Amino acid sequence: MHTTEPRPMSARKSDALSGRARVPGDKSISHRALMFGGLAAGETRITGLLEGEDVLRTGEAMKAMGATIEKRGDEWIAHGTGNGALLEPREPLDFGNAGTGVRLTMGLVGSYDMTTRFIGDASLSKRPMGRVLDPLKEMGLQVLSAEPGDRLPITLRGPKHAAPITYRVPMPSAQVKSAVLLAALNTSGVSTVIEPVATRDHTEKMLAGFGAALEVETDGEGVRHIRIEGQPKLIGQTIAVPADPSSAAFPLVAALIVPGSDVVIESMLMNPTRTGLVTTLMEMGADIEILERRNEGGEDVADLRVRGSELKGVTVPEDRAPSMIDEYPVLAVAASFAEGDTLMQGLEELRVKESDRLSAVAEGLKANGVDCEEGEASLRVTGRPGGKGLGGGTVQTHLDHRIAMSFLVMGLASEKSVTIDDQAMIATSFPDFTALMTRLGAKLD
């Protein structure tokens, strides 16, 4: 539980940003690296792990279930229990602010004949867990206790022998897809996840890398069928975690909206299931050069050179949402400095993140003089090139790291400063945000 006094922070209009920056490791890949390393037989060595609170809690959970995980120099070393051999945790597993951690771990333990209790902070305790419990119940899981609306705290009891399923994921969610695939690991037989709308594919790629028999087929309608054979032998791997595009989004948008900036973002993950923001910003006229595209540890990465740009408003295609789902708050900030209107649609999933991001963004924009219109699942932002008249407000972050960082970016190019009510949650995904941005020339205090 986050109980300390709130620590506000302000961002002031800054001179041109410059320099090179490497943002921390990808959060999605980091969670999975500790989870699969903690499960696989033998040793997993991880470099570039995101040492944010969300990911560290996943490590603690795996330790509570029998894995050994420790840091040696720059490397994290995991010795796993072996697939099928997780132990019943003695204490509740506390996932803090992390949706990915709790939902993937529910999948992982959902097919084990043991009792596990899950808890989290005030934000996580408001988020719906039924989306992962529904398929897991079809595999034999019992929900021993839950708060109304399938909210945390939740106690689960897995079956003696889980049954394989075929499950069509009803909303675009990599967390739901992954929970089913992870439950299938300890279930004999073949399970199939049908994914009508493609979402980030890290679970599929990494499980295959650890030795799972997993096949992905995309049919004529673009629907993905992921088949996984239960009870594979998983073997420890060496993993280099690329820089997180969802974190890179903050210095990237900052460099675009602060006139005269010239920043290089190094080794950013370019997996196409994650690059929707870069595509959208380029359509808005952003000066982004993609340099040295290369493959590192099975993922495409590149350096991005970003210069201050005059942006124009666009309509973002709805089907791009899964590839930039966590980047809408900072896109809305970019749109606030663009010529004309930017329309974002298909945003229903934003309502169930660390906060209701659609309303948190709209409120924050309005508090800082931006004209915007919030729909059920859409947002229209009318930009003010040069940030004329923008700023001067305080933003409620609602325990949401992305709201906090997005509005600090806004303050760097607004006429008046922008204040956020609390900076504490930034540490969940980007612990060195303030230091890195300050090095580039951002005025944060």
Q: Is 366 annotated as a binding residue?
A: no
Omega before 259 cis (within 30°)?
no
CB burial string 83-119: b at 16+ within 10 A, e below: bbebeebeebbbbbbbbbbbbbbbbbbbbbeeebbbb
Binding to ligand PEP by CB under 6 A, coded x per residue (else -) over 401-420, reads -x------------------
Q: Which of 201, 326, 400, 422 is catalytic?
A: 326
User: Would residue 74 show up in a list of annotated catalytic residues for this protein?
Assistant: no
**Alpha carbon 403 to chain centroid distance?**
13
Cα–Cα distance between 197 and 352 in angstroms, integer? 18
One-letter amino acid identity for 301?
V
CB of 171 to ligand S3P, least distance (A): 8
Of the pair 132, 255, the CB lying nearest ligand S3P is at: 132
CA–CA separation, 269 and 297 (whole Å): 11
Among 121, 299, 326, 363, binds ligand PEP (CB under 6 A): 326
Q: Is 27 annotated as a binding residue?
A: yes
121 binds ligand PEP (CB under 6 A): no
CB of 131 to ligand S3P, least distance (A): 8
Give CA–CA dist 311/123, Å, rounded. 34
Minimal distance in Å, beta carbon 354 to ligand PEP? 5
What distance lies between CA 186 and its chain's CA centroid? Answer: 26
Q: Is 177 annotated as a binding residue?
A: no
* Whole-number Å distance between alpha carbons of 203 and 34: 12
Q: Give me the residues that bind ligand S3P (CB under 6 A), please.
A: 28, 100, 173-175, 178, 200, 325-326, 349
In the complex, least distance from residue 90 CB atom to ligand S3P, rounded to whole angstroms: 27
Q: By C-alpha distance, which of 151, 195, 190, 149 is closest to 174?
A: 195
Site stretch for ligand PEP (CB under 6 A), options 92-100, 209-217, 230-238, 265-273: 92-100
Considering the complex, what minimum distance in angstroms separates the CB of residue 136 from ligand PEP? 18
Check whether 32 is labelled as a binding-site residue. Answer: yes
Which residue in 429, 434, 436, 441 binds ligand PEP (CB under 6 A)? Answer: 429
Could you tell me which of 126, 174, 172 has the C-alpha nearest to residue 150? 126
Encoding tokens for residue 442?
A: 């951002």
Task: Name the binder of 402 from ligand S3P, ligand PEP, none, CB < 5-8 A by kind.
Answer: ligand PEP
Does residue 107 interact with ligand PEP by CB under 6 A?
A: no
State which residue, 303 or 349, has the beta carbon closest to ligand S3P: 349
Name the residue with tokens 């493609």.
198
Q: What does the DSSP 8-state code read for residue 112?
A: S
Judge whether 404 and 357 are in contact, CB under 8 Å: no
- Residue pointed to by tokens 């099928």: 84
Q: Which residue numbers are catalytic?
A: 326
Write out the binding residues for phosphoenolpyruvate.
27, 99, 127, 175, 357, 402
Write out the binding residues for 3-phosphoshikimate.
27-28, 32, 173, 175, 326, 353
Residues at the site binding ligand PEP, with contacts judged by CB under 6 A: 27, 98-100, 326, 353-354, 402, 429
